[in-house]
A = this chain, B = another copy of it.
């Protein structure tokens, strides 16, 4: 991938390679044992592996424990408001095609308050990578039911156990038109790295739904997906056709813990392509003369 940063194409080779040390920032404030540590470590590993120019990476988040992410990784980063980081990242992605915007958010941010933005980013196929750190609970606000909390989950807002059907993230994403949908778990770092890398390489709206255990308020929630805790980590069947929407949909309906891997991956023009205008780097001001001519012509039509 060639970037146009500072107006000259920068090839990563001209610099010392990016190391994980470069990517260290504040000490994470997560609870000891929180699954989010592992997601962070793998993200740093991914960035190291991809060796992207550090200044071209933008780490973005909403609000939640998981959304504290940007402070812990040393890239340009934004800690936005609850539920709206997808449209924010859309604006950034469209207007700055030279960057790599990568979003990390929690299940509440993603599927509760932010649910609609997911559907619209998906159908519009915005060039954007999103990792949902799903702990099936509201962590930061200390244990309320999240849209992915299973039936029976006891929380401060469901003291008798939740009774409503949770949102099925992969189902939601596939049906709303996301062009890359994968499922992984923080307990399986290698698999997580593989999924994140595939998502980063995808040209379009790519979402990694990632189990990340909240040891504080939902401990043991994903044990059924952790082999060393007696669970299973069933991969997506080998013969699964990732371009087959109906097959992918069927896969989302498997009982917990379901399958892990790429559920769906197709190519469709991105919004970035169809909204071509901005590809021309409007941050350049050399074009002011052209602006004058064009605008003058428009105004003269109204004389």
Contact between B124 and A115, CB atoms less than 8 A apart: no
A74 close to B (CB within 8 Å)? no
Report the stretch among A9-17, A169-177, A224-232 that lies at the interface: A169-177
A116 close to B (CB within 8 Å)? yes
Selected from B165, B171, B175, B176, the residue in CB contact (under 8 A) with A268 is B165
B residues within 8 A CB of A124? 164-165
Contact between A125 and B246, CB atoms less than 8 A apart: no
Chain A residues touching B, range: 20 to 34
**What is the distance, in angstroms, from A136's C-beta to the closest C-beta of chain B?**
14
B residues within 8 A CB of A176? 167, 172, 175
**What is the distance, in angstroms, from A125's C-beta to the closest C-beta of chain B?**
7
Q: Which of A124, A163, A164, A172 has the most CB of B within 10 A?
A: A164
CB within 8 Å of B: which of A256-300? 268-269, 271, 274
Cα separation A125 to B163 with both chains bound (whole Å): 11
B residues within 8 A CB of A271? 164
Selected from B112, B113, B253, B269, the residue in CB contact (under 8 A) with A246 is B253
Cα separation A253 to B246 with both chains bound (whole Å): 9
B residues within 8 A CB of A269? 163
B residues within 8 A CB of A274? 163-164
B residues within 8 A CB of A165? 123-125, 177, 268
A250 close to B (CB within 8 Å)? yes
B residues within 8 A CB of A253? 245-246
**What is the distance, in angstroms, from A176's C-beta to the closest C-beta of chain B?**
7
B residues within 8 A CB of A172? 119, 175-176
Q: Residue of B at shortest CB range from A114?
A: B116
A166 close to B (CB within 8 Å)? yes
A249 close to B (CB within 8 Å)? yes
A70 close to B (CB within 8 Å)? no
A120 close to B (CB within 8 Å)? yes
**What is the distance, in angstroms, from A167's C-beta to the closest C-beta of chain B?**
6
Q: Apart from A125-B164, A163-B274, what 11 extra A-B contacts exist at CB < 8 Å?
A: A115-B115, A116-B116, A123-B165, A123-B167, A164-B271, A167-B176, A172-B176, A174-B175, A245-B253, A246-B246, A246-B250
Q: Which residues of A are at the interface with B, using a C-beta cutoff of 8 A? A: 112-113, 115-116, 119-120, 123-125, 147, 163-168, 171-172, 174-177, 245-246, 249-250, 253, 268-269, 271, 274
